[in-house]
Amino acid sequence: MDMTISQAIRKVKDLKGKMAKHQSYAATSVLYAVKEPPAYAFKSELETIETLGKELLKLQTAIAVANATTSVDWNGQKVRLAWCVRRLEEIKGKIAWYEGLSVYAQSESSVDSWDYHDVGDKMERVKTEKKMKCDLPQAERDKITASLQDEFNKLNDVVETTNHRTSVGEAHET
């Protein structure tokens, strides 16, 4: 049966879900009281997991081959679909990293801080002002993440469009 990359990706997700379910069944049926047999037979579940695993491996290989052999136009260049997938992962990681940075609205600001200092024989709480420098103010960070998100969306559209019309073909059959 011939299928597109998109169909194969959905099938992979389905197979992984089924494998997890059967692994759970196997895990709960490996040890049991003789008078209380489990709902599922351990050996049968292992066979099912093995069968699903073989099909999963075939599909994942077919997807990898299709991604490695299919080229698309991106920013005036021919690039492999495999490159696109990795670039999407990279962009997603960059966006998460930038969004995780602690930034201020302005490049310079001050914040009040409460510190404890020895004054004579006792500790006193003293309010101090700290000057803060932010090398990436929030508006600049948001501009960068918006640009990365735009690139992600455009590249993802190219990948999805290609996945819907590219066959995994013979690679699925081997």
Per-residue pLDDT tens for 121-168? 888 887 888 898 999 999 999 999 999 999 999 999 999 999 999 999
- Rounded Cα distance, 159 and 104, in Å: 36
Domain ranges of the chain: 5-101+137-173
Residue 173: pLDDT band by 50, 70, 90 thresholds? very low
Scored b (16 or more CB within 10 A) or e, 41-53 reads ebeebbebbeebe
Per-residue pLDDT tens for 31-46? 999 999 999 999 999 9
Q: Give pTM, 2 decimals.
A: 0.78
Write down the pLDDT at residue 1. Answer: 55
Which of 54-58, 96-100, 110-114 comes out lowest in average pLDDT? 110-114
Write down the pLDDT at residue 125. Answer: 83
